[in-house]
Amino acid sequence: MTPRFTPGQLHVHSGLEDMVATARALRAVGRKIALVPTMGALHDGHRQLMRTARRLPGTVLAASIFVNPLQFGPDEDYDRYPRPLEQDLQACGEERVELVFTPSREDMYPGGPEVTVDPGPLGGELEGASRPGHFAGVLTVVSKLLNIIRPDYAVFGEKDYQQLTLVRKLVRDLNHDARIIGVPIVRDTDGLARSSRNAYLAGDQRTAAVTLSAALTAGARVSAGGAGVVLESARAVLDEEPLVEVDYLELRGADLGPAPERGEARLLVAARVGTTRLIDNAPVNLGGEGEN
């Protein structure tokens, strides 16, 4: 039996069969679905994704909440990753989400998994070089969600820019039907990119973390001078903060290939502040006018 769906109300499905049946029933009556995949611990960045999805015409707004074990390395924070489900469901209700999928690990990976998605060469660079296997885990769970829910749209934030780029490649190369929509980074008033891991920052660490966005801004402002000047300016800002341990600072093309001599590029940084690993990025127009 298909679970009852009442438009405008929040429906929570933890079971795989109920989620599949509801999504199939919505498609059968011509409703489109806009999906916001999350790992929970929802913040204003997630809310902005939901608001973007809600503005898509004629859609049911859906979200998934699942802390995906496949994208965590053995020494990462899977066990302590925040899981405030009641607060997350309250946030979903406030953002007028109509459908929330909260599967268990057993639902998503019964007996395994034995088969995962290979992210290709880009999956081993930048974040992938620092976190081996991370993007295989990300693309596997995204592929499963796209198959289970079959959304017309899936909305991702640009803060995880490499993830967004790889998800677009996934959809293209594996012939998923969903249209992938990227949403600009949501920042605190001091410039820090919103992240669930910001909750780990304490005292001086929170202040030091702002150095990442300050470095990106410094690099973008001198983009007319070319790639070398951009990287030099950003690195100088990072070097001034002893609490920031830089993992990488790179300038790439907009598709994360090699940076062009002129035109659209992306400046990306990853660093540890204490035990917390943070990432950030910003668009850069090489050879053009810098940021104000």
Exposed/middle/buried for 106, CB within 10 Å: 0-12, 13-18, 19+?
exposed
- Cα(72)–Cα(6) distance, rounded to whole angstroms? 36
SS (H, E, C) the chain: CCCCCCCCCCEEECCHHHHHHHHHHHHHCCCEEEEEEECCCCCHHHHHHHHHHHCCCCEEEEEEECCCHHHCCCCCCCCCCCCCHHHHHHHHHHCCCCEEECCCHHHHCCCCCCCCCCCCHHHHCCHHHHCCCHHHHHHHHHHHHHHHHCCCEEEEEHHHHHHHHHHHHHHHHCCCCCEEEEECCCECCCCCECCHHHHHCCCHHHHHHHHHHHHHHHHHHCHHHCHHHHHHHHHHHHHCCCCEEEEEEEEEECCCCECCCCEEEEEEEEEEECCEEEEEEEEEEECCCCCC
Which residue out of 11, 46, 134, 176 is catalytically annotated?
46
* Lookup result for tokens 């035109």: 263
Q: Which of 111, 91, 103 is nearest to 147 (CA)?
A: 103
Residue 13 designated active-site: no
Residues annotated catalytic, as ranges: 46
